[in-house]
Structure 1
Protein backbone atom coordinates (compact mmCIF):
# COMPACT_ATOMS: atom_id res chain seq x y z
CA UNK A 1 0.00 0.00 0.00
CA UNK A 2 1.16 3.50 -0.75
CA UNK A 3 0.47 7.05 0.43
CA UNK A 4 -1.47 7.77 3.59
CA UNK A 5 -3.94 5.12 4.71
CA UNK A 6 -7.49 5.58 5.96
CA UNK A 7 -8.55 2.72 8.24
CA UNK A 8 -12.01 2.09 9.69
CA UNK A 9 -13.51 -0.87 11.58
CA UNK A 10 -16.96 -1.77 12.80
CA UNK A 11 -18.53 -4.78 14.47
CA UNK A 12 -21.59 -6.31 12.83
CA UNK A 13 -24.06 -8.58 14.63
CA UNK A 14 -24.14 -11.02 11.70
CA UNK A 15 -21.99 -13.93 10.55
CA UNK A 16 -19.21 -13.32 8.00
CA UNK A 17 -21.16 -15.01 5.17
CA UNK A 18 -24.07 -12.62 5.75
CA UNK A 19 -21.77 -9.60 5.78
CA UNK A 20 -20.10 -10.94 2.61
CA UNK A 21 -23.50 -11.15 0.94
CA UNK A 22 -24.25 -7.54 1.86
CA UNK A 23 -20.80 -6.48 0.66
CA UNK A 24 -20.90 -8.27 -2.70
CA UNK A 25 -24.52 -8.12 -3.84
CA UNK A 26 -24.76 -5.12 -6.19
CA UNK A 27 -28.38 -4.33 -5.25
CA UNK A 28 -27.47 -4.25 -1.56
CA UNK A 29 -24.23 -2.33 -2.11
CA UNK A 30 -26.20 0.70 -3.25
CA UNK A 31 -27.83 0.87 0.19
CA UNK A 32 -24.51 1.63 1.86
CA UNK A 33 -22.52 3.20 -1.02
CA UNK A 34 -24.40 6.53 -0.91
CA UNK A 35 -27.13 5.23 -3.22
CA UNK A 36 -24.74 4.38 -6.06
CA UNK A 37 -25.58 1.82 -8.70
CA UNK A 38 -22.90 -0.84 -8.26
CA UNK A 39 -22.03 -3.30 -11.01
CA UNK A 40 -19.58 -6.18 -10.57
CA UNK A 41 -19.38 -9.95 -10.55
CA UNK A 42 -16.89 -9.61 -7.67
CA UNK A 43 -14.58 -12.09 -9.40
CA UNK A 44 -10.81 -11.42 -9.40
CA UNK A 45 -9.83 -9.58 -12.57
CA UNK A 46 -13.39 -8.34 -13.11
CA UNK A 47 -14.51 -4.74 -13.23
CA UNK A 48 -16.40 -2.82 -10.56
CA UNK A 49 -18.26 0.42 -11.22
CA UNK A 50 -20.12 2.88 -9.01
CA UNK A 51 -22.47 5.36 -10.66
CA UNK A 52 -24.62 8.00 -9.03
CA UNK A 53 -24.83 11.62 -8.00
CA UNK A 54 -22.57 13.18 -5.36
CA UNK A 55 -23.06 16.76 -4.18
CA UNK A 56 -25.34 17.39 -7.16
CA UNK A 57 -22.91 16.08 -9.79
CA UNK A 58 -23.15 12.76 -11.63
CA UNK A 59 -20.16 10.42 -11.39
CA UNK A 60 -18.98 6.99 -12.46
CA UNK A 61 -16.07 5.54 -10.52
CA UNK A 62 -14.44 2.29 -11.52
CA UNK A 63 -11.84 -0.27 -10.56
CA UNK A 64 -10.75 -3.88 -10.79
CA UNK A 65 -11.38 -6.69 -8.32
CA UNK A 66 -7.97 -7.87 -7.07
CA UNK A 67 -8.97 -10.48 -4.46
CA UNK A 68 -12.26 -12.06 -3.44
CA UNK A 69 -11.74 -14.69 -0.73
CA UNK A 70 -15.28 -15.37 0.50
CA UNK A 71 -16.09 -14.54 3.30
CA UNK A 72 -12.80 -13.10 4.52
CA UNK A 73 -11.26 -10.61 2.08
CA UNK A 74 -12.39 -8.30 -0.71
CA UNK A 75 -9.81 -6.05 -2.36
CA UNK A 76 -10.24 -3.82 -5.39
CA UNK A 77 -8.80 -0.74 -7.01
CA UNK A 78 -10.83 2.44 -7.17
CA UNK A 79 -10.47 5.46 -9.42
CA UNK A 80 -12.75 8.43 -8.91
CA UNK A 81 -14.29 10.19 -11.89
CA UNK A 82 -13.45 13.61 -10.44
CA UNK A 83 -11.65 14.43 -13.65
CA UNK A 84 -8.24 13.24 -12.49
CA UNK A 85 -6.13 11.36 -15.04
CA UNK A 86 -6.02 7.56 -14.82
CA UNK A 87 -2.61 7.20 -13.24
CA UNK A 88 -1.36 5.06 -10.36
CA UNK A 89 -1.07 8.21 -8.25
CA UNK A 90 -4.84 8.76 -8.48
CA UNK A 91 -5.89 5.16 -7.82
CA UNK A 92 -6.74 3.73 -4.40
CA UNK A 93 -6.80 0.14 -3.27
CA UNK A 94 -9.69 -0.71 -0.94
CA UNK A 95 -9.24 -3.75 1.29
CA UNK A 96 -12.19 -5.12 3.26
CA UNK A 97 -11.27 -7.76 5.85
CA UNK A 98 -14.02 -9.74 7.58
CA UNK A 99 -13.07 -11.44 10.86
CA UNK A 100 -15.46 -13.63 12.84
CA UNK A 101 -15.79 -12.45 16.44
CA UNK A 102 -17.97 -13.85 19.26
CA UNK A 103 -20.88 -11.51 18.50
CA UNK A 104 -20.64 -11.57 14.69
CA UNK A 105 -18.09 -10.04 12.32
CA UNK A 106 -15.49 -7.30 12.58
CA UNK A 107 -15.20 -5.47 9.25
CA UNK A 108 -12.02 -3.49 8.68
CA UNK A 109 -11.52 -1.30 5.63
CA UNK A 110 -8.19 0.18 4.55
CA UNK A 111 -7.95 2.71 1.72
CA UNK A 112 -4.42 3.42 0.58
CA UNK A 113 -2.81 6.10 -1.57
CA UNK A 114 -4.34 9.18 0.02
CA UNK A 115 -2.02 12.09 -0.91
CA UNK A 116 -2.07 13.78 2.52
CA UNK A 117 -2.97 13.02 6.12
CA UNK A 118 -5.93 15.40 5.73
CA UNK A 119 -7.19 13.51 2.68
CA UNK A 120 -6.86 10.23 4.58
CA UNK A 121 -8.90 11.67 7.45
CA UNK A 122 -11.60 12.87 5.04
CA UNK A 123 -11.72 9.40 3.48
CA UNK A 124 -11.85 7.78 6.92
CA UNK A 125 -14.89 9.87 7.85
CA UNK A 126 -16.68 8.89 4.63
CA UNK A 127 -15.84 5.21 5.15
CA UNK A 128 -17.18 5.37 8.72
CA UNK A 129 -20.57 6.28 7.26
CA UNK A 130 -20.31 3.51 4.66
CA UNK A 131 -19.43 0.84 7.23
CA UNK A 132 -22.25 1.97 9.51
CA UNK A 133 -24.71 1.60 6.64
CA UNK A 134 -23.15 -1.79 5.73
CA UNK A 135 -23.65 -2.87 9.35
CA UNK A 136 -27.34 -1.94 9.22
CA UNK A 137 -27.79 -3.70 5.86
CA UNK A 138 -26.08 -6.90 7.01
CA UNK A 139 -27.96 -7.00 10.33
CA UNK A 140 -31.27 -6.65 8.46
CA UNK A 141 -30.33 -9.70 6.39
CA UNK A 142 -29.99 -11.68 9.61
CA UNK A 143 -27.33 -13.76 11.33
Structure 2
Protein backbone atom coordinates (compact mmCIF):
# COMPACT_ATOMS: atom_id res chain seq x y z
CA UNK A 1 0.00 0.00 0.00
CA UNK A 2 1.33 3.43 -0.91
CA UNK A 3 0.72 6.82 0.64
CA UNK A 4 -0.22 10.16 -0.92
CA UNK A 5 1.47 13.48 -0.22
CA UNK A 6 -0.66 16.61 -0.24
CA UNK A 7 -0.13 20.36 0.08
CA UNK A 8 -2.61 23.23 -0.17
CA UNK A 9 -2.43 27.00 -0.37
CA UNK A 10 -4.59 29.99 -1.27
CA UNK A 11 -3.11 32.47 -3.72
CA UNK A 12 -4.51 35.98 -4.12
CA UNK A 13 -4.82 35.81 -7.90
CA UNK A 14 -7.32 34.54 -10.47
CA UNK A 15 -7.13 30.90 -11.60
CA UNK A 16 -5.83 31.94 -15.05
CA UNK A 17 -2.93 33.77 -13.42
CA UNK A 18 -2.09 30.81 -11.18
CA UNK A 19 -2.44 28.44 -14.15
CA UNK A 20 0.18 30.50 -15.95
CA UNK A 21 2.51 29.96 -12.97
CA UNK A 22 1.88 26.20 -13.15
CA UNK A 23 2.60 25.94 -16.88
CA UNK A 24 5.03 28.73 -17.84
CA UNK A 25 8.63 27.42 -17.80
CA UNK A 26 10.17 30.79 -16.87
CA UNK A 27 7.79 31.23 -13.95
CA UNK A 28 8.24 27.61 -12.82
CA UNK A 29 12.01 28.18 -12.63
CA UNK A 30 11.38 31.11 -10.26
CA UNK A 31 9.68 29.00 -7.58
CA UNK A 32 10.91 25.45 -8.33
CA UNK A 33 14.59 25.85 -7.48
CA UNK A 34 15.62 26.95 -10.97
CA UNK A 35 14.21 23.84 -12.61
CA UNK A 36 13.96 24.03 -16.40
CA UNK A 37 10.76 22.39 -17.68
CA UNK A 38 10.31 21.19 -21.26
CA UNK A 39 6.97 20.06 -22.68
CA UNK A 40 4.32 21.19 -25.15
CA UNK A 41 1.59 20.97 -22.47
CA UNK A 42 -0.52 18.45 -24.42
CA UNK A 43 -2.05 15.28 -23.05
CA UNK A 44 0.21 12.33 -23.81
CA UNK A 45 3.32 14.48 -24.31
CA UNK A 46 6.54 14.00 -22.38
CA UNK A 47 7.58 16.45 -19.67
CA UNK A 48 11.21 16.82 -18.58
CA UNK A 49 12.57 18.63 -15.53
CA UNK A 50 16.27 19.56 -15.52
CA UNK A 51 18.26 21.24 -12.82
CA UNK A 52 20.61 20.81 -9.92
CA UNK A 53 19.69 19.53 -6.46
CA UNK A 54 22.19 19.61 -3.61
CA UNK A 55 25.01 20.06 -6.11
CA UNK A 56 23.95 17.17 -8.33
CA UNK A 57 22.50 17.62 -11.82
CA UNK A 58 19.23 15.82 -12.45
CA UNK A 59 16.85 15.08 -15.28
CA UNK A 60 13.45 13.90 -14.10
CA UNK A 61 10.69 12.96 -16.49
CA UNK A 62 7.10 11.99 -16.98
CA UNK A 63 4.09 12.33 -19.25
CA UNK A 64 1.18 14.78 -19.27
CA UNK A 65 -1.69 12.47 -18.28
CA UNK A 66 -4.43 15.09 -18.09
CA UNK A 67 -4.56 18.82 -18.76
CA UNK A 68 -7.67 20.93 -18.30
CA UNK A 69 -6.79 24.64 -18.23
CA UNK A 70 -7.09 26.45 -15.86
CA UNK A 71 -8.13 23.87 -13.26
CA UNK A 72 -6.25 20.57 -13.49
CA UNK A 73 -2.88 19.16 -14.51
CA UNK A 74 -1.87 15.55 -13.89
CA UNK A 75 1.56 14.22 -14.82
CA UNK A 76 3.43 11.03 -14.21
CA UNK A 77 6.79 11.62 -12.55
CA UNK A 78 10.04 9.70 -12.25
CA UNK A 79 13.36 10.80 -10.79
CA UNK A 80 16.54 8.73 -11.20
CA UNK A 81 17.65 10.31 -7.89
CA UNK A 82 15.01 8.13 -6.21
CA UNK A 83 17.32 5.16 -6.75
CA UNK A 84 14.41 3.20 -8.21
CA UNK A 85 14.60 1.59 -11.66
CA UNK A 86 13.03 3.41 -14.61
CA UNK A 87 9.98 1.20 -14.89
CA UNK A 88 6.23 1.88 -14.63
CA UNK A 89 6.03 0.88 -10.94
CA UNK A 90 8.56 3.61 -10.08
CA UNK A 91 6.47 6.45 -11.52
CA UNK A 92 4.22 8.59 -9.35
CA UNK A 93 1.34 10.85 -10.35
CA UNK A 94 1.45 14.53 -9.46
CA UNK A 95 -1.84 16.44 -9.61
CA UNK A 96 -2.25 20.21 -9.56
CA UNK A 97 -5.86 21.19 -8.82
CA UNK A 98 -6.91 24.86 -8.98
CA UNK A 99 -10.28 26.16 -7.82
CA UNK A 100 -11.71 29.67 -7.51
CA UNK A 101 -11.71 30.83 -3.87
CA UNK A 102 -13.37 34.22 -3.54
CA UNK A 103 -11.10 36.63 -5.40
CA UNK A 104 -8.22 34.14 -5.27
CA UNK A 105 -7.39 30.55 -6.12
CA UNK A 106 -7.11 27.46 -3.93
CA UNK A 107 -4.26 25.25 -5.12
CA UNK A 108 -3.83 21.62 -4.08
CA UNK A 109 -0.93 19.42 -5.14
CA UNK A 110 -1.01 15.68 -4.52
CA UNK A 111 1.68 13.11 -5.25
CA UNK A 112 0.67 9.47 -5.07
CA UNK A 113 2.85 6.40 -4.86
CA UNK A 114 4.89 7.42 -1.81
CA UNK A 115 6.49 4.31 -0.30
CA UNK A 116 5.37 5.06 3.26
CA UNK A 117 4.01 7.75 5.57
CA UNK A 118 7.50 9.20 6.11
CA UNK A 119 8.02 9.73 2.36
CA UNK A 120 4.51 11.20 2.03
CA UNK A 121 5.26 13.62 4.87
CA UNK A 122 8.60 14.61 3.32
CA UNK A 123 6.99 15.19 -0.08
CA UNK A 124 4.09 17.13 1.50
CA UNK A 125 6.64 19.42 3.15
CA UNK A 126 8.53 19.86 -0.15
CA UNK A 127 5.29 20.68 -2.00
CA UNK A 128 4.25 23.14 0.73
CA UNK A 129 7.57 24.95 0.29
CA UNK A 130 7.07 24.97 -3.48
CA UNK A 131 3.55 26.38 -3.12
CA UNK A 132 4.80 29.11 -0.78
CA UNK A 133 7.33 30.04 -3.46
CA UNK A 134 4.61 30.00 -6.12
CA UNK A 135 2.44 32.30 -4.01
CA UNK A 136 5.34 34.73 -3.51
CA UNK A 137 6.05 34.82 -7.25
CA UNK A 138 2.40 35.14 -8.32
CA UNK A 139 1.34 37.65 -5.69
CA UNK A 140 4.55 39.63 -6.19
CA UNK A 141 3.84 39.78 -9.93
CA UNK A 142 0.24 40.83 -9.25
CA UNK A 143 1.29 43.91 -7.26
TM-score by shorter chain over 0.5: yes
Kept in 2: contact 1:48–1:64 (CA 8 A): yes
Aligned to 1:106: 106
**Shift of the alpha carbon at 1:119?**
0.5
Query: Partners in 2 of 1:81 and 1:66 — Cα distance?
Result: 20
- Matched position secondary structure for 1:84: coil
Aligned CA-pair RMSD: 1.4
- Give the alignment's TM-score, normalised by structure 2: 0.94
Aligned to 1:128: 128
Aligned to 2:66: 67
- What stretches of structure 1 of length at least 5 have no aligned partner? none
Query: Partners in 2 of 1:40 and 1:140 — Cα distance?
Result: 26
**Shift of the alpha carbon at 1:142?**
2.2
The answer to whether residue 19 in structure 2 is matched with residue 25 in structure 1 is no
Report runs of 4+ in structure 1 exceeding 2 Å deviation: 140-143
- Give the alignment's TM-score, normalised by structure 1: 0.94
Aligned to 2:118: 118
Aligned to 1:139: 139
- What stretches of structure 2 of length at least 5 have no aligned partner? none
